[in-house]
Amino acid sequence: MNLSIPYHLENFIGGNLIAPLSNQYIDCINPATAEVYAQIPDSDEQDVEAAVLAAQKAFASWSVTPVEERFKILNRIAELIDEHIEALALAETNDNGKPLWLSKRMDIPRASSNFRFFATGIMHFASESHSMEDKAINYTLRQPIGVVGCISPWNLPLYLFTWKIAPAIAAGNCVIAKPSEVTPVTAYLLSKICKEAGLPNGVLNIVHGTGPNCGEAIVQHKAIKAISFTGSTRAGERIASIAAPMFKKLSLELGGKNAAIIFADCEPIAIGWEKMMKETIRSSFTNQGQICLCTSRILIEESIYEKFKAAFVEQVKALTIGDPLQDTSRQGAIVSKLHFDKVMACIETAKQEGATILCGGNAVTVKGRCGNGYFIQPTVMEGLGAGAKTNMEEIFGPVVTLQSFTTEEQALQLANASNYGLAATIWTQDISKANRIAAKVQTGITWINCWLLRDLRTPFGGVKNSGVGREGGWDALKFFTETKNVCIEL
């Protein structure tokens, strides 16, 4: 199988790689070098219509394909991803700007895990029956919806693309999928892998393009019965305004303004302090802070605030910013010029609000081939209240703020001050305190003394402006099926 990347990428419709019907393309830019290295289809409603027709044609047979056969195909896709990890990781790094070691360690392995998990999961997916004593018995059918839409973001391109596609096709649906136009290459390569694995034509259709031209055409299409979207709260609001009046099923995983709550009782225990410091740096700056689960607000108990600040800033300053292809680079490039400008504008807003920049805050020029790339120093700041714009709005970059608290109640008030509610991290050696805080913090996900420790069986999603619905495990398979009750009188 050839995983080379042509200059003109193509849509994957009905099992074939085809050019956009309009013959219009969008530049694909390597953010580490600012160079155009490929072009992708600028698809519109014509391409989406062709994909829907292909999916409808495939649905009749795929929806009744035995689950063991679906397992074999999805598991083969996972195997092929693993076999081509080097090519996929390099493509992801050149497309996204993240360090190559991170693509190899996190992004591509998680993509294969997504397919493997749902391949096995569908083998065990079951429904219930309810007996009404000697009167009747009810049983539940969970049937595939039909044609569904999956729209994924640019920060974890193949990781999140497969997170949506795998459960959808495992459950017997046919998919119209749109990757981000900013990071489309691994989605293009996935089409080749699916073809090689024997996925029937039309079960997965990948249509490239922008949100306004291509994404909205997917959301608006009457034959697409469900939309799974990960991205910004603003885009999620737009999707909901279109899809809700059409009574489509919606799963929206949106933004985050996540807090790490650090209590003083982790300080006397050396191993606890060291782990907390290491994980808080990782949660703040992994993928240049461009993960919806990243920490952006660090809340520290007042008695250890100065000690934490000194140690944290010292270690953040030591993070190496450099060419993503170098193993020594801890921080790569920001994903695009547009997002680079947004993050820099947010740092300027923080200064205007009165923030004290403890380290970072500037753009960086990396020597060599990356001289024109989009790099920003990891940035730590303090001196802003909970209501400051910088502490309320998602920045989605290598920027964190520090705030102090004196009581559990104040820590909770600060943590819950944001309009978002995706994730939180609690650091304490007091398990009772940890459970009290976890029960009251307004998030969909809470980690205690760890970060990004994921079990794919668990529900994933947020509250408030962080979205609607849950992904992962049975929640994902239930979302991509319709539930029907059948009652038989005895």
pLDDT tens digits in sequence order for the chain, 490 residues long:
889 999 999 999 999 999 999 999 999 999 999 999 999 999 999 999 999 999 999 999 999 999 999 999 999 999 999 999 999 999 999 999 999 999 999 999 999 999 999 999 999 999 999 999 999 999 999 999 999 999 999 999 999 999 999 999 999 999 999 999 999 999 999 999 999 999 999 999 999 999 999 999 999 999 999 999 999 999 999 999 999 999 999 999 999 999 999 999 987 777 789 999 999 999 999 999 999 999 999 999 999 999 999 999 999 999 999 999 999 999 999 999 999 999 999 999 999 999 999 999 999 999 999 999 999 999 999 999 999 999 999 999 999 999 999 999 999 999 999 999 999 999 999 999 999 999 999 999 999 999 999 999 999 999 999 999 999 999 999 999 999 999 999 9
Active site residues: 253, 292
pTM of the complete model beyond 0.85 = yes
CATH of domain 258-456: 3.40.309.10
Q: Which of 278, 375, 291 is nearest to 326 (CA)?
A: 375
CATH architecture of the domain 11-254+466-489 equals 3-Layer(aba) Sandwich (3.40)
Residue 288's region, left for phi above 0, alpha for psi from -120 to 50, else beta, is left
Cβ atoms of residues 130 and 137 within 8 Å: yes
11-254+466-489 and 258-456: identical CATH topology: no
Q: Which residues make beta-bridge pairs with 298?
A: 260, 402
The alpha carbons of the chain give a radius of gyration, in whole angstroms, of 23
Contacts of 102 (CB under 8 A, 6+ apart): 93, 286, 287, 332
Every domain of the chain and the residues it spans: 11-254+466-489, 258-456
